[in-house]
Amino acid sequence: MRQPDIEIYLKDADVDHKAIAAWLSQALGTCSDWVQKGQTYKCKAGSVPVTWLPKAVGKWNSLYLESDQTPWEDDIACARAAFAALNVEVRCAPGSWVEEEGEETADRWIRISADGEEEITWKTA
């Protein structure tokens, strides 16, 4: 089932919002200029609203695509594409997380890096 939106986390030192814009322009359509509000950057890639939050979780940047109209079925597909395009470690939830699942499953993440793909426990809180 297609997720209603996509959120992935990219390792900080290796990527910035300009590299993200170049990748998203190829994947989704031309990126508008980034508008910075506080620590957050927003733009549109094609028709998709994009939010970039540097250091959202420690040294990890959040990339949030607020649409189900992307080429990716879910977070994992987007994370794989981001890793392939940017060659940077990416983390994402293994599926849509809902509050009813509790804190236990909230710490389950997929890590995609040069080492391959694996499920990890990542305490983000």
Q: Evaluate whether 121 touches 104 at the Cβ level (below 8 Å).
A: no
Q: Which of 65, 54, 58 is CA-nearest to residue 16?
A: 54
pLDDT surpassing 60 at residue 97: no
pLDDT surpassing 80 at residue 70: yes
Mean of pLDDT values over 81-108: 78
The verdict on residue 1 lying in a domain is: no
Mean of pLDDT values over 80-108: 79
Euclidean distance between CA atoms 9 and 62, whole angstroms: 5
The verdict on residue 108 lying in a domain is: yes
pLDDT for 106 equals 67
- 56, two tokens: 């959202």
Enter the DSSP assignment of 5.
Answer: S
pTM for the whole thing?
0.89
Read off the pLDDT of residues 46-65 as tens digits, 9 standing for 90 and up.
Answer: 999 999 999 999 999 999 99
The CATH number of whichever domain residue 90 belongs to comes to 3.30.310
Secondary structure (3-state) at 29: coil
pLDDT band, very low/low/confident/very high, at 84 (cuts 50, 70, 90):
very high
The verdict on residue 63 lying in a domain is: yes
Structural domain count, the chain: 1
Q: Evaluate whether 4 touches 95 at the Cβ level (below 8 Å).
A: no
Euclidean distance between CA atoms 46 and 31, whole angstroms: 6
pLDDT for 65 equals 97
Q: Please give the residue range of the domain that contains residue 15.
A: 6-121
